[in-house]
Chain A
Amino acid sequence: MMKRSLLNLLLVAALMVAALPSVLALAQEGATVTALVDESAREVVDAWIAAYSEQNPDAVFDVTYAPADVLLDDLSAAQLVITRDMPEDLPIEFECGQIGPIRMLLPDLAGRYLSSVDCDGPLTGPAASAAAFLEWVTGPDGQQVAIDLGLLPGEVTVTDQAGETVTVPQPVRRVVSAYGVSTYFVYPVGGEDRLVAATYLGIRGDEAVEAMTRIDPRFPEVANAVSTLGQGESNLEEIAAVQPDLLLASRDSEWLSAAGELGIPVLRFEGETPESLKEAVRLVGAVLGPDEAYRAEQFAEFYDEVLGSIQAQMADIENPKTVYFSGTQPLRVASGGMYQTAMVELAGGVSVSKDVPGAGWQDVNLEQVYNWNPEVIFVPTYGRATTEAFTDDPQWAPVQAVANGNVIQLPSLTGPLDTPAPDSIIGIIWMANQLYPGELDLDCEALAAEFYARFYDYDLTAEEASSLCS
């Protein structure tokens, strides 16, 4: 009896060992993606899967088409859901799993991946394949399939921030950004993979370069693709050589009239207000595709939610703090037309220089500063600006901010946080917390982590979050 059962056991073990390689092989192939698809989208999804499988022969899809009303009834086996009305909260809960963000495959068709096994960490198996598929569908190749079926327009016409009507043929595969701020409009909408050459505002020093490379591993390649690229001057022939479908530029760039001769659509931006920042991100989203347009709205919502929260809480603050936002020298101040001044006001401060005319930094004298007597001085992270320039100078000692130790330099992860780029919202959150420490319900680290996760696809380390918020 004993012998027999032992023999059985050995037999079972031998069978298992023999079966192992085939099980492993199955896992390596990426496994079959179980997909639930709204039957009204059958044609386009079939076309996507066919085109995707041609490029990725390993991908295997097991698609169940169902009417929309019963589609979401049982999600337990699915790794991919594609439907017209994607609810924010899917009717399923995992003990330990992930539900991906909503991706807009068409203006009226959304998809998201599900994983019941990957707790945090990277996706594995069929869920990873599902995520890669969604990424491909929202990318230029997937857009091309939808354009061929007449579901996406062959060209998109927008009015840019210089008031020009610009027609951009779809899909946009290669983007060049010749304006240090507009490059950052591409990231929140998820279009960074399409950047082929770009200039990045204010990324100076090894730490900033390393941080930006962590956020986007392609950063060094993209930043160096064209030798001269910027607001003031760009090498047009080198731009032409990287064959862009779209050029993002500053409204103030004078070389753009020559760029128009290349026949590349140009979007011009000007940003010194929160509204123009949101509009700029929406513009980039609109010309890149439905998913990008959706993400631009998400960004605008996040931005407005944070500002609304600060504004609501400011109702309880009796004496708003007066703020002097200094430039690269102590006696240089942000004028009323500058984004820095708007940021101070949005963060619940009162800018002492909000009535100073002009659109750039303005020089003032110490007597004027004594008159203003600001309670807080903010110092930017560029140039030779330091807090010591204020604290070590006896002439500044009588100013409230200096006397009370409220001269504070902005934090920085990559570029400066006081430019009209999307991450300026972190700058505003930081400012509000510096102005009213402990008085606001505004968790800087959590919001910064959420911002980078949602709009830069990047998980901030605890260290980065705390340095951004200190």
Chain B
Amino acid sequence: MPDGYNGRILHVNLTTGDISVEEPDEKFYRKYMGGSAMGMYYLLRDMPAGADPLGPDNILALCLSVLTGAPISGQSRMTSVAKSPLTGAIGDAQCGGFFPAELKFAGFDAIIIRGKAQKPVYLWVDDGQAELRDAGHLWGRITGEAEAMLKRELGDDKIEVLQIGPAGEKGVRFAAIINMSNRANGRTGMGAVMGSKNLKAVAVRGTQKPSIANPKALNELARWGATNLPASDIAGLAKYGTAETTGAQQKAGGLPSYNFNSGVFDDWEALDGPTMYDTILRGADQGKQDRNGRDTCYSCTVRCKRVAEIKEGPYQVDPHYGGPEYETTSTLGTYCGISDLAAIAKANETCNKYGMDTISCGATIAWAMECFEEELITVEDTGGIELRYGNAEAMVRMVEMIAKREGFGDILAEGSAHAAAVIGRGTEGFLITSKNQEIPAHMPHTKRTLALIYAVNPFGADHQSHEHDPSYRDSPERMAQLGLVDPQPKLALNAEMVRYAMITQHIYSALDSINLCQFVFGPAWHLYGPDHIVKAAQAITGWDVSLYELMQLGERRLNMMRAFNAREGIGREADTLPKKFFTRPLKGGKTEDYVLDYEEWRQAVDTYYAMCGWNIETGHPTRAKLEALGVGWVADQLGL
């Protein structure tokens, strides 16, 4: 029996109903380790090129890692990968919660899902056994209801439920996969893929914890984390949530507002983490929000998750559906010019009830609001709704209409890029997308390496795929562990900053393969640094893991994703940024008049491809690079 993992992959064919268990050898686990590196192995090996993302040929891989379920903070994470219905490229999303650890305890390291069931089903995974069951009675139910029904039906309140909501059933292109009714594999439309397969849910119960190779070393690391948390850079994130960063973003002129036309928002304090803590967290009225208003993932001492509860007023919020993150207060708030925290919490609740990514949902509405202000979209389109900046009531209503695909919501449910293609009238000029995915709430105007990584990231714009610019200067000790000892002036996007972006991208990619939380573990301000990541991997698996090995793992994952895209005919031409980032100066605050320099950005992309060992013309990985990463078989697939 290996340490840290089960050595068992569950394969489910929904078309045939076949369920089987694969037991790969240790070499497989050492090379791919988990997350999307592991998932890419199956997608590249078994999925035909050109598969319809919402068809039976798409493969949905739900992957843990060799570290998941160990008793230390930040490890209960799961990655979902499949071809994305939003981008047409590879899709990728991570979640936390208790489901990942529970699946490990149930005896599996991943679930690989193929085909399409004839009618709605759910997968019941119970301590090493798995079976498909009818889900007709669950179809159409919001997440909280379906979760309660499954726990009742299966007779165990400790069951963890991963599921889609009605949005996933209806193929909303940014539908999420939800667990605990409030944790999301949010981005790239993985919930729509699950829905297209008629798979409503995966219910799991497990009681067998994997062995740990060196429990003493892991315990020491866990205790070090608990001891150092209060003085660490994530102490504020723990107490006040991710929205603690709102003030710093505003100060830098990097708080995306009014569909990215400004980097400042006058009413930002209404959405700040401490404001949320004081007002809408459960227990705030009695000063008990630390106990009642913060939630956690399996074995995590950080407790950064928000639990919002609003009992009165027009926007009452059920704490079962959690509370908004910084991304959510931005996309459903500042992007839309909205400072009504209760309305945002309500919209967040709707996204979790119906299973939608709050980032794409909010950003799509913000795009529609700008188009409305520009009179390119009118009340005739919206069914009478004045979809203007600052109209919280319209935003809340539109979120619900998207979830249900009602009226104008049916068009927005396609995502902003697809919606612009349908509507036309010049609305595409106001998009803030890359690879058709809406850009999250960090601005490349203030953190220039985001301009590079948003464009080249294989699954569309993502803010958790490399370390943002300030850390090069702010975290010199940890940066030195990665060989980064030459921080550059603010706003530089020169070769050294490209190198910084690429190297930190590789470690973030490794984290999304070993599935460690990127607040708890990382290369800079995180509780645990690169040396700790290595120690955790060694202690859990017993392997003599090195930082070099993990960096290669991260690079391997990215190259497999780029290879997947290459096979789909997607390369350099898709590595773009919104046009308005280059043409429309920001308004207000410290970033007044800021625009990105197209030539500088294009040169950075060239430099990045060259540093990655990719073809500069196409942006595709080369055979030599794939072979250098030990995946020459992928080059065979590409016909290189």
A, B: real partners: no
